[in-house]
Structure 1
Amino acid sequence: MFLNKYRIFNRITQQIITRMASDGSTAYIREGAAELSVSSDKVFYNPVQEFNRDLSIAVLTIFAKEYKEETQKKTLQKARRCEKIFQDAIFVPETEVHILEALAATGLRSIRYAKEIPNVTKVVANDMSEEAVETMKYNVERNMVKDIIETSQEDACILMMKNKHPKRFAAVDLDPYGCPSGFLDSAVQCVQDGGLLLVTATDMAVLAGNSPETCYSKYGSISVKAKCCHEMALRILLQCIESHANRYGRYIVPLLSISVDFYVRVFVKIYNGAEICKQTISKLSMVKHCVGCDAITFLPMGTLKPHPTEKNPDKLKTCLPPIPSISDHCEHCNQTLRLCGPIWSHPIHDEAFVSRVLVHVEENPMLFNTSKRMAGVLSVIREELHDVPLYYVMQRLFGAVHLETMPMLTMRSAILNAGYRVSYSHASKLSIKTDAPAQFVWDVVRTWAKEHPAKASKLESDAVARHILSRDITSTVELSPRADANPASRRDARLRYQHNPAPNWGPGTRATLKTGFEIGPSLKARRKQNKKKQKRDHSPMSEDGGRKKTDTKTSESESDS
């Protein structure tokens, strides 16, 4: 494990060639086909997100090719209808693929888009920072992509609103520092019909349930602190994008949604269609979460049924579901329930599209430095149950009742033997995603408890464990192993779940150059270390022996200097 960690880190350091100038102010960075020179610590660069950039290039390569073909086909059909000509000799102009990177920073991503994606016609690299734009201009000329990349210094929201009609972009990339919701309203308006929106969110503490009130104010959904929080974060972000799109008669179709490292990243197509927007409530659900056993129950906000007055049987009508019986306590452990959501409860991936991206990565491994990880993660995503939201975690299931954890393949075999489906989730190594009811899952745990009983001393003080294990087993549970319980991605030993390969692995600090070579705390972290303790030690004593209150701003500025 440790060898793999350092091999990965060595590959990263080999790609980030940094030669500090005599004054220590310039860094030279190489990633993919791009070479950058960054001369300011106010321009943000994070080598950790190389996987993010590689995956974006792979997705955009497939999307740009298909978008070009689909657009030309629609244009040809429209020309034939308008001109009433049915010959194949109608001239169709070449489809232009314009990409906007609204928050470009160093411009690395835009330069890689221009040099590595075959069908890109134009890339607009925008940033508010004057220093960032000057850096981008220099690097665009350095990489000889001036004919493709157009630099822009403007507020991202204003720029997107200026291009909402008719000069829309085929793809818009949003990768802000933290929450992206402030950019979504303008982003969903400036994407072409059938275009792609790429969104990253790095405020995982908010999305994962640490601050449910903050999550509601930013995303319009209440998050919950559960073991499945990483997929919950994806579904909260998707419902937020959908709500912004619906305001303008548009809707989303998720192609790929991924939770890795310290962030979530979604790739969604934007379409026009006020009629489809009416079906949005059937794609959303409220969630009941048990504080005792972590059980999840979904409460759909809407359902679809055939339209009684329409001749077309395929046309559906949205209706409100009946109110389910809501109890104050969990049926499995008798603990209290919490209500959260709404979340996106429809599929978060397009399996066919994921397969095409995976084939492209496997056929061109030399194009991506993180190709092994990309292939591993995409393989797991392709195997996921796309129509089953959220997942269980093995440690939580067996830890709640103080049992020795069952082997993963045994649990998967038990579910398959009962006729249900099961898969991993790419968001957790110990995940169980299944369409089996929660009652059956707990019956598997109770069957395991008969052969591997918990210690009586632990059960005496835990009401949750006693209540779960005391219930009768109502299902037939067969623990015999099955060959198909071991998925192909696991048998092939793919790199599915990567360990953090370097110290300080994370989102970095806002607008600060991060080269990946820092060992231990950063310069700012060292300067701020023990700041509060130093202020207490040096603050003047009052007459009664207490510390005098000092002006916070003055103290901070003094410590910074």
Structure 2
Amino acid sequence: MQLESDLAEIVEGTTRLLVPKGALVEKVPPMEPAFFNPRAKINRDFSIIAYAAFLKTFKGPKVFLDSLAGIGARSVRVANELNSVEKVFINDVNPKALEIAENIAKLNNVTNCVFSENEACRFLSLHSKRDQRGAIVDIDPFGSPSKYIDCGIRAAFHGGLLSVTATDLTVLHGLFPAACKRKYYGVPVRVEYGDEIALRLILGCINIVAGRLDVKIVPLFVQNNMHYYKAYVKVLVKTSDKDEMGYILHCKNCGNRHVTSEVKYECEVCNLKAELAGPLWIGNLYNKDFVNEMIIEEKQFQVDKSCKKILERCIDETDMPPTYFTIDELAHMKHSAPISLAKTIEKIQGAGFRASATSLNPAAFKTDARVDEVLSII
């Protein structure tokens, strides 16, 4: 049995957690006796809000499948804080982590948890039969989630939610393009808006796997925080009638960025050769109705105060074009001091273009104006 002296009690939301003491004091959370990252709290906060919003309209059995649960911080919070959830399956390959998870469940007096010690794909495969699937399937690995996506889709009900985390930033940000192509089927470009390219590569990977299985995905919400990227997609057992895969062309000479469905390298502003990121998802990152439901649900939970502000920014940028500009990036191009974000957006809107802040970077904005038009305006 896990020694109490090895663990400390903390609270997330309204859930009491028992976590390895080393995770609270060491810069890099230790792997023994089990991994827990306290800095991922906001990631788990958003999960609770997103799951609550999703379950309001889901018609089937409200079952949550956590394939890589660790000590069960996310899954026990789901069992404890979401009253509509009927059953929570908590799976991990580490028996020490599962022992802690069971103690956390007892500490919170939750009785609707089922624990299993299994490899993630094996666990998800056991839940791939029609009557054993999950309303929500979560995949939260170390590094890339790509090897679990196939199994995760199969374990989700028609109309169910698949939530996928990626933490391999060096791959998604372009330090290892060959590895990115192998894992996500596309390559990034190293740019200021690398967070968005990373999320679009993750969604593109999920979409490609779904297409192979004759399944359609609908992105509902994405979120990034430090070294975490998380995508929430609805899984529909039907084929897609719209191709939302493409490329982002980026010119490092003039800063132009352009979304295209075709492979091309010529910059439309300066006519020099540009770089190409993709193939990746070029459709919407957010579903406006879903994010509105998240804003409503956020009031019901004890979550980080930044969640509401981020969700409101998501609403503003829902229909904006892909990619964003940072105010520091523009200042560097102009060789001048940066203008405030609010003033920049005001100027661009005043010139007749659309512009909004973005949830992906607190010092950035999205617009339908080209880089030369933006620079001229500011």
- TM-score over 0.5 for the pair: yes
- The structural deviation recorded for 1:238 is 0.5
Is 1:158 the counterpart of 2:149 in the alignment?
no
AA matched with 1:192: F
Structure 1 31/412 Cα, relative in aligned 2: closer, same or farther at 3 Å? closer
Structure 1 33/403 Cα, relative in aligned 2: closer, same or farther at 3 Å? closer
Q: How does 1:160-559 map to 2 (within 5 A)?
A: 160-166=124-130, 167-274=132-239, 276=240, 278-279=241-242, 282-301=243-262, 326-327=265-266, 330-333=267-270, 335-362=272-299, 364=300, 367-370=301-304, 372-445=305-378
Q: Which residue of 2 aligns with 1:460?
A: none
Rounded Cα–Cα distance in structure 1 between residues aligned with 2:272 and 2:333: 12
Give the conservation status (yes or no) of the 8 Å contact 1:189–1:245. Answer: no
Residue 226 of structure 1: SS of its match in structure 2?
Answer: coil
- The structural deviation recorded for 1:182 is 1.2
Give the conservation status (yes or no) of the 8 Å contact 2:351–2:377. Answer: no
Deviations 1:455-497 (A, max 9, x none): xxxxxxxxxxxxxxxxxxxxxxxxxxxxxxxxxxxxxxxxxxx
> Residue 52 of structure 1 is aligned with which of 43, 47, 65?
43
Given the two structures, how large is their TM-score scaled by the length of structure 2? Answer: 0.90
Rounded Cα–Cα distance in structure 1 between residues aligned with 2:20 and 2:358: 41
Is 1:63 the counterpart of 2:91 in the alignment?
no
Is 1:124 the counterpart of 2:92 in the alignment?
no
Is 1:143 the counterpart of 2:108 in the alignment?
yes
- The structural deviation recorded for 1:39 is 6.4
Give the conservation status (yes or no) of the 8 Å contact 1:124–1:152. Answer: yes
Rounded Cα–Cα distance in structure 2 between residues aligned with 1:249 and 1:53: 30
Structure 1 194/403 Cα, relative in aligned 2: closer, same or farther at 3 Å? same
Deviations 1:410-444 (A, max 9, x none): 43233222221100111112212111233422322
- The structural deviation recorded for 1:144 is 2.1
Residue 185 of structure 1: SS of its match in structure 2?
Answer: helix
- The structural deviation recorded for 1:220 is 0.8
Cα RMSD after superposing both structures: 2.1
Structure 1 169/296 Cα, relative in aligned 2: closer, same or farther at 3 Å? same
Q: Which residue of 2 aligns with 1:28?
A: 9
Rounded Cα–Cα distance in structure 2 between residues aligned with 1:348 and 1:244: 18
Q: Higher strand fraction: Structure 1 or Structure 2? A: 2
- The structural deviation recorded for 1:388 is 1.0
Residue 188 of structure 1: SS of its match in structure 2?
Answer: helix
- The structural deviation recorded for 1:38 is 4.7
Q: Which residue of 1 aligns with 2:24?
A: none
- The structural deviation recorded for 1:127 is 0.2
Give the conservation status (yes or no) of the 8 Å contact 1:254–1:349. Answer: yes
Q: Which is greater in Rg?
A: 1
Rounded Cα–Cα distance in structure 1 between residues aligned with 2:40 and 2:233: 20
Give the conservation status (yes or no) of the 8 Å contact 1:291–1:335. Answer: no
AA matched with 2:332: G
Unaligned runs of 5+ in 2: 22-31
Structure 1 421/102 Cα, relative in aligned 2: closer, same or farther at 3 Å? same
Give the conservation status (yes or no) of the 8 Å contact 1:422–1:435. Answer: yes
Give the conservation status (yes or no) of the 8 Å contact 1:388–1:433. Answer: yes
Unaligned runs of 5+ in 1: 1-19, 72-94, 302-322, 446-561
Rounded Cα–Cα distance in structure 2 between residues aligned with 1:32 and 1:416: 39
- The structural deviation recorded for 1:264 is 1.1
- The structural deviation recorded for 1:42 is 2.1
Deviations 1:298-322 (A, max 9, x none): 2215xxxxxxxxxxxxxxxxxxxxx
Q: Which residue of 1 aligns with 2:26?
A: none
